[in-house]
A = this chain, B = another copy of it.
Amino acid sequence: MNRMFRKKQTKQRPDAAAQLLMDIVGEENVLYLKEDLISYECDGYTMERGMPRAVVFVRNTQHVSDVVKRLNELGVPYIARGAGTGLSGGATPLGGEVIISLVRMKRLLHLDLENRKAVVEPGYINLKLTQSISDKGYYYAPDPSSQNACTIGGNVAENSGGAHCLKYGVTTNHILGLEVVLPNGEIIEIGKEGIPDQPGYDLLGLLTGSEGTLGIVTQITVNILKNPEGKKTVLAYFDDIDDASQAVSDIIAGGIIPAALEMMDEIAIEGVESAAYPVGHPRDIAAFLLIEVDGIAAGIDAQIDDILTVCKSNHVRKVKVAKDEAERSLWWANRKMGFGAMGAISPDYLVQDGVIPRTRLPEVLARINAISRKYELRIANIFHAGDGNLHPLILFDANIPGESERAAKAGSECLQVCADVGGSITGEHGVGIEKSAEMHFIFSDEEMAAQTAIRHVFNPHDMLNPGKLFPEPGRCAEVKQDMKTASV
């Protein structure tokens, strides 16, 4: 007992690697105690975890370059991490990597409203950008549901989307330039001064969405937009989810591009109505659509009329237009609680993220229903319906033996369905560690080889975020073996 007590009191000392990192960034910017590291075991994807060797908070680009070079010399792999809101395990250490945290590089460096651009550090929080320019009439378009926490650097890594990406596009459509530290420590600039039309290969597009496997982004030039002159929001309740699906197709086919076109099914509605922002949605509907139109004020009413007509011709039970900003905000707060609200109706849940051609929605929903019955697990469905981007939420209880495994299998089968109809296994959450096994659903061996060859160009020794996106089983096993012997 006494010995145990004394053991607790013995303060863990930084190992040689942590000490060398402190020489670069200062003692106060390195975490190495087990109790400090535990928060970095996983990101928003919690099904797999691993301990980092240390966490280093960099303050500037030179720090990143110096840290990377030092870790290369030591042979210690590393991972860049933003706010840790990622949903596929992209920032989860699998083998005792050092985490390079970018959250203290969080400045807005430059604002150029005349040329509609802003330059930010990677740790700058998404929502802050819009907040800091909204009084001048501007905003930053990509709006992941986690936007009050996630960083723009993380958004670049995952090529994040959001509800309003139907009209405005995902992160890659809003990035004008990047400063990047390559895994060899070199600093490169892509799309200098925000001129995106660079000759040569599209490195800007290549880095965006590369899930932190090609380089570490240290500065980002983004495109900012003028606030739309007007905005209107419609809520439409349907008794039959196929009617709701058809309404989605008819709206798009009719030539309207809403700013957002969201769908929630019955179980998802049960969730959000049990959470922090209940709207009073009827509990006996099959689905609702939340549709927002924005743009030149004069054109909006005509588009809303067209949308109401489409809903009515698809047997909508009830449809209404938000009467004021307060009502609109409530509808959106309710929608954005979607994932978190599952906690109110299930002990655990697994979010999936597939993409399908919009017109295949009814068929895909039927197959997801069949998966739900097969695994005896409820599945809620939240969609960026206009984009064909589905989020099946598989509800389970990790305390019931076998349920986690059944949930993971059900999730994988949902992705197989998306792949079968010509879709994709991820719309906006990335592959990370969660979906690397499913990559072969949509890529041939040749296609995977082209991808991994690109990683090899930038990251030849697999020092940056190893084992992500395209796991190399040998390498992962090796890293995991190292970890067992590492003195974390």
Q: Which residues of B contact A249 (CB under 8 A)?
A: 114
Are A201 and B206 within 8 A (Cβ)?
Answer: yes
Contact with B along A191-205 (1 / 0, CB 8 A): 011110111111101
Is A296's beta carbon under 8 Å from chain B? yes
Contact with B along A437-459 (1 / 0, CB 8 A): 00100111011001101111110
Q: Which residues of B contact A226 (CB under 8 A)?
A: 255
Q: Which residues of B contact A137 (CB under 8 A)?
A: 255
Q: Which residues of B contact A195 (CB under 8 A)?
A: 355-357, 388, 422-424
B182, B301, B451: the one contacting A201 at CB < 8 Å is B451
Is A435's beta carbon under 8 Å from chain B? yes
Is A16's beta carbon under 8 Å from chain B? no
Closest B residue to A116 by CB, please name it. Answer: B252
Q: Which of A423, A435, A443 has the most CB of B within 10 A?
A: A443
Q: How many residues of A contact B (CB 8 A)?
A: 81
Copies in the complex: 2
B188, B201, B295, B447: the one contacting A188 at CB < 8 Å is B447
Are A201 and B210 within 8 A (Cβ)?
Answer: yes
Are B295 and A199 within 8 A (Cβ)?
Answer: no
Are B115 and A199 within 8 A (Cβ)?
Answer: no
Closest B residue to A469 by CB, please name it. Answer: B200
Are A203 and B302 within 8 A (Cβ)?
Answer: no
With known contacts A298-B302, A358-B115, A202–B205 Cβ distance under 8 A: yes
The docked-state distance in angstroms from the alpha carbon of A295 to that of B451 is: 39
CB distance from A421 to the nearest CB of B (A): 8
Residues A294-339 near B (CB distance < 8 A)? 295-299, 301-303
Closest B residue to A460 by CB, please name it. Answer: B453
Is A430's beta carbon under 8 Å from chain B? yes
